[in-house]
Structure 1
Amino acid sequence: MHVTKKLPIIVRRFGHPLVRPIQVVAAIDFGTTFSGSAISTKSMFESNPLRVENIQLDKKKAYHKTQTSVLFKEDEFVAFGQQAERKYKTLSLKGQADDLFYFRNFKMQLHGEKLSKRMKLRTIDGKEKSCITVIAACIEHIKEKAIGRINQMNKSIGDIDIHWVLTVPAIWSEQARQFMIKAAEKTGIDRDNLSLALEPECAAVYCKHDELVKDKGQNNSALQSFKPGSKFMVVDLGGGTVDIIVSEVLESGKMKEISKASGGKWGGDTINKKIVDVMNKIFGPKMKKMRTDEMNSYLELLADIESAKRDYDDEDDFTIRLPEFLQEAVNVDELAGKFGNNIVLGKGKKHLLFSQEKMKDIFSKCISDITKHITSLLEEAIGVSEIILVGGYASSPIVQTAFREEFGQKFKLIIPQNPEIVVLTGAVISGHSKEPITRRVAKNNYGLGIRASVDPGDRNLLIGNDRHKKIFHLLIEKGRRMDVGKYVESCKIKVDDSTQLDSIELYITKSDNQEHEININDFSKIGTIKFKLPKLRKPTIFAVSLWYDETEFRVMAEDENTNFQFEGIIQYFE
């Protein structure tokens, strides 16, 4: 086995080279439904880590987040957030929407997709534009808003003084994470000034500091959630995904994962979709026609569903304002025949009322996927005593009640005030901290895909050619604990003067019975490792090592003849 050692590069502080101290941390929480940004200077962090300033992203709303929507006119960026939707509606009413590209709720397209730089996003009316262009435009707009506020605070602060933190779901693939990095780089953010932060980990960092502040302020010795040895679960309930981690607090006060991150497409938007599905059953082709001919009315309907859902507490009927386009399309007798008293038309046909029973059924079907998954995790995660709920969906009274009924007897349930901004605040704190998370757990089996044979003499891999089958060489097993910033595993590869170690493919498999030969059913290629090596004049053995740095893998090849080390680049998408 290859001797463990540090990579021969500048040590990073949460992704930032220690060339000069960080003066400001700026975090961007780019969400499925809503996005936000917050900043904190070094002095603000030192006085109180929870002291962050939320950036106002929308001119007409002082709320700390705005909806994740963006508007282009051909290739020109026009607006972001609620302002994008307002402008789109206005220009649509004027008949000037033919060259407009309006995107909303598009982040989920990065989850579970095979990504490439050529990937397209589809607008709400069917047009297409480059995915990386759309996301980069959103990040750039938020970045400029943050820089504007930073310059107001201190004009002497330059780009090199700002460290950017971009949040991503913990369940996202390596490809999706690098996609966000590439999008951020397109905006001019230097890679050395950028970190990715996993959303539920940010929530854990926030809650830990929140309890420390309470403890100092109230001398409350009963606060036990983040004492060394305590184990807790964070459930980040977002608009698109539910993201779950289970962690333990170390003696140092830092945290480590004790089970692999998991979750699914169970976020708050599932409720919206269920309601829209019901309305499609009621109105049939009229809903589709509204989306085609009356886009403004359709967008207002979606906004009304979202607003009503966030405030709904099951003590009354769920009420939706009907667009005028739909008011005359309701057949009262058919409605009663399909839904009885569960869905009725309001007086004047201006509202649709869902009964408490109907809403309970909609919510319970969506929430049960979450609670079943959490129950299975808790059966394996011995010693967990707290469950922390964060994210915009966690503010729903229905969700909170469901969690209390399901888990309240056995576990302490923690729901921070304003759970929708916990991840964002925690991301800022993480940017100031030095590796707040020290260990993570591998979600998959990771290995190298190489056209090679096994040398019968020393059992090293011998690089071959196209005649050789592509074999899978396991490096990291699913569930393995990986220390952040440290060596994980290596293998030795023999290269002679007729072959080259210019590129190796990186594969994953979820199967526990890894076939030696790679096949399309059991293995997924997630990237290509590129090396720039000098021309070899004699057979050479390279020790190829994987390292886990923050939220990404890094790779190095060491020439055993010369001890020279070469850092590789992992390209996660074409």
Structure 2
Amino acid sequence: MASNKIVSVALDFGTTYSGYAFSFRHDKENIITSRWTGKDYTSIKAPTSILFTAEKKFDSFGFEAEDNYAELSKNGTHKDWYLFKNFKLVLINEKKLSRDTQIRDFGGKKMAAMDVFSEGIRFLKDDFSKICSKQFLVFDDSYVQWVLTVPAIWDDAAKQFMRLAAKKAGIPDESLLLVLEPDAAALEASVSRMCEEGEKCMILDCGGGTVDVSIMKKTSKGRVDCIYRPTGGVWGGTKVDDSFQEFLIENFGVDNFKRMERHEILDVLRSFESAKKKAHRSEEIQFKIRLPLTLREDIHLLPIKECVRRDKLILSFDQVIKFFEKPVNSIVAHLQEVIEEPEMYGLKYIIMVGGFSESVILQSAVQNSFPKLCVLVAEDPGAAVLKGAVHVGHDPKIIESRRSAYTYGIESMTNFIEKYHNPMKMKIIDGKKKCSDTFIKFIEINEVIQINQTTVTKSFHPAHFGQTSVRLSVYRSTLGNPLYVTDPGCEKIGGLAVQMPDLTGEKERVVEVSISFGETELRVEAADKTTGRKYTAAFDFLGD
């Protein structure tokens, strides 16, 4: 797929931080990362913060967006502008994600999520193009294999949303790969070098928003198999920030917190972010967080006054660690559940990647909870996903297999079988007994999926004369063998449209629908077996 591309570019559009990395086909191991510099920072990733004007036009991204918004706030001219932070979680939190989903900015105003995501991706894409043109003189988009990383626990709607946002940002469909973050991280975290052939290791990818857990095994070819379905949850580093904000409200009062100006909130959050990264047990270390005047005006009336020195909030390690308790406990509890599964027999390593994995508190919790396993932290955990994704861009088949996260199927009407089907599901159609709501299974939860090979084909008939298209409802289930789409654990996730304009054979036509499960995204093809013609077919997971 990427053989005609000379450069692989990975975009890591994260909940809290984003960046990109790339390398050229002739020098794959020389991976160059984005770099953001300013008065008091140098980083390979920038905050995933995007600023729009009052007219909803893109203004700036990252540190620059936050700084510009802070200046607007100081001048009192920010109210009609839009600043978006930590908005990526909408793709997992929104129950009915659609192309028209709206999200709220830092001040509560709404904009179309698709516009916000696409402008963020466009900025990263254009920044790479600008840097590449300066360094290598000749640059052509057709030479690029774009790779966009996505959490493994995302559903199909979120993946489709990101692909559409990337397309709107100017990245052609045929030049874009979506890659699961732990898959990418496994390659950069040296699974192939650290593990012997056949050994199992757990990739614990802890980001700002989500935590993904994948179990990998090295194959005889030095490639990687994912041997357990991806699991995880929303337990990333932003949960620590949430606990800190709850602490501020509790100790300084909700009224004082609400009176804070936007630039003051940004300043406090940046100060806490710096302190959070340094958090480890030491009797000599105190954690200093800058407090705005708004929170210090009546400090002598508050019990928290003992912890305030001039413009700084001084916290001990024991106080700071409480902010980590909820996400860390959730991560450890989930790992304990996964490790108890039969498939985990022989597991030797837990490899920690992702920005939140830089936390010594999280590292210690994992190490102490699983003393029989070797817990390793990637050399540069925050960049592991980015760099691994660059490798996938050069060689998409480096991951050989994975496990299905769900049982996937389609709703269909089948012949009614006495003593097997529920009588309440029976319908008479054209004088024949039919069973409604039947779950036609394509693939089962935790089933092995061979990358670029696993395709399942099922046959369907038109329901009535003159039918030139078929729309099927796609379902997923946490059950292995659901009988009906109405069974517990079943959920409709979208539709599948098949165009079949040739009426030859009418209702006797046989339409074969083939779904490919061998990539990060589901793919579909359809064919009319009566005429031999192939038809266009497409999934729609974003609803109407």
Q: Which residue of structure 2 aligns with residue 265 of structure 1?
A: 234
Q: What amino acid maps onto 1:536 in structure 2?
A: L
Looking at structure 2, the residues matched to 500 and 167 of structure 1 have their Cα atoms a distance apart, in angstroms, of 37
User: Would the aligned equivalents of 2:449 and 2:518 in 1 still touch at CA under 8 Å?
Assistant: no
Q: Which residue of structure 2 aligns with residue 358 of structure 1?
A: 319
> Which of these residues, 114, 118, 130, is aligned with residue 148 of structure 1?
130
- Evaluate the alpha carbon distance shift between residue 155 and residue 454 of structure 1 in structure 2; reply closer, same or farther with a 3 A threshold: farther
Question: The residue matched to 1:111 in structure 2 has which SS?
Answer: helix
Q: Which residue of structure 1 aligns with residue 33 of structure 2?
A: 54
Structure 1 stretch displaced more, 75-84 or 546-555: 546-555
- Evaluate the alpha carbon distance shift between residue 59 and residue 303 of structure 1 in structure 2; reply closer, same or farther with a 3 A threshold: closer
1:189 to partner: Cα distance: 0.8
Q: Which residue of structure 2 aligns with residue 215 of structure 1?
A: none
Q: State how 1:79-478 maps to structure 2 within 5 Å.
A: 79-113=60-94, 114-208=96-190, 212=193, 225-291=194-260, 294-315=261-282, 316-331=285-300, 334-335=303-304, 344-348=306-310, 350-380=311-341, 381-407=344-370, 409-450=371-412, 452-454=413-415, 469-478=436-445
Question: The residue matched to 2:43 in structure 1 has which SS?
Answer: coil
- Evaluate the alpha carbon distance shift between residue 202 and residue 541 of structure 1 in structure 2; reply closer, same or farther with a 3 A threshold: same
Q: Which residue of structure 1 aligns with residue 478 of structure 2?
A: 510
Question: The residue matched to 1:300 in structure 2 has which SS?
Answer: helix
User: Would the aligned equivalents of 1:529 and 1:571 in 2 still touch at CA under 8 Å?
Assistant: yes
1:141 to partner: Cα distance: 0.7
User: Would the aligned equivalents of 1:286 and 1:326 in 2 still touch at CA under 8 Å?
Assistant: no
1:323 to partner: Cα distance: 1.1
Q: Which residue of structure 1 aligns with residue 450 of structure 2?
A: 483
Q: Note the residue ranges of structure 1 that are not aligned, 5 or more in a row.
A: 1-12, 213-224, 337-343
Question: The residue matched to 1:107 in structure 2 has which SS?
Answer: coil
1:207 to partner: Cα distance: 2.2
User: Would the aligned equivalents of 1:271 and 1:363 in 2 still touch at CA under 8 Å?
Assistant: yes
Structure 1 stretch displaced more, 52-61 or 544-553: 52-61
User: Would the aligned equivalents of 1:290 and 1:297 in 2 still touch at CA under 8 Å?
Assistant: no
User: Would the aligned equivalents of 2:133 and 2:139 in 1 still touch at CA under 8 Å?
Assistant: yes
1:52 to partner: Cα distance: 0.8
Q: Which residue of structure 1 aligns with residue 424 of structure 2?
A: none
Question: The residue matched to 2:461 in structure 1 has which SS?
Answer: strand
- Evaluate the alpha carbon distance shift between residue 32 and residue 352 of structure 1 in structure 2; reply closer, same or farther with a 3 A threshold: same
Q: What amino acid maps onto 2:395 in structure 1?
A: S
Q: Note the residue ranges of structure 2 that are not aligned, 5 or more in a row.
A: 421-426
Question: The residue matched to 2:190 in structure 1 has which SS?
Answer: helix
Q: Which residue of structure 2 aligns with residue 65 of structure 1?
A: 45
Looking at structure 1, the residues matched to 473 and 314 of structure 2 have their Cα atoms a distance apart, in angstroms, of 55
Deviations 1:486-528 (A, max 9, x none): 2342322122634454221111122456252537x74322121
Looking at structure 1, the residues matched to 11 and 36 of structure 2 have their Cα atoms a distance apart, in angstroms, of 11
Structure 1 stretch displaced more, 324-333 or 33-42: 324-333
**In the alignment, structure 1 residue 28 sits paired with structure 2 residue 16:** no
Looking at structure 2, the residues matched to 116 and 390 of structure 1 have their Cα atoms a distance apart, in angstroms, of 31
- Evaluate the alpha carbon distance shift between residue 432 and residue 442 of structure 1 in structure 2; reply closer, same or farther with a 3 A threshold: same
Q: Which residue of structure 2 aligns with residue 526 of structure 1?
A: 493
Q: What amino acid maps onto 1:44 in structure 2?
A: D
Q: Which residue of structure 2 aligns with residue 219 of structure 1?
A: none
Looking at structure 1, the residues matched to 38 and 127 of structure 2 have their Cα atoms a distance apart, in angstroms, of 11
After TM superposition, which residue ranges in structure 1, 4 or more long, deviate above 4 angstroms?
A: 57-61, 462-465
The percentage of aligned residue pairs carrying the same residue is 30
1:167 to partner: Cα distance: 0.7
Q: Which residue of structure 2 aligns with residue 37 of structure 1?
A: 20
Q: What amino acid maps onto 1:36 in structure 2?
A: G
1:107 to partner: Cα distance: 0.7
Question: The residue matched to 1:486 in structure 2 has which SS?
Answer: coil
1:57 to partner: Cα distance: 4.5
Count matched residues. 524
- Note the aligned Cα RMSD (angstroms): 2.5
Q: Which residue of structure 1 aligns with residue 423 of structure 2?
A: none
Looking at structure 2, the residues matched to 285 and 549 of structure 1 have their Cα atoms a distance apart, in angstroms, of 50
Looking at structure 2, the residues matched to 569 and 135 of structure 1 have their Cα atoms a distance apart, in angstroms, of 23
1:182 to partner: Cα distance: 0.3
Q: What amino acid maps onto 2:243 in structure 1?
A: K
1:309 to partner: Cα distance: 0.5
- Evaluate the alpha carbon distance shift between residue 176 and residue 426 of structure 1 in structure 2; reply closer, same or farther with a 3 A threshold: same
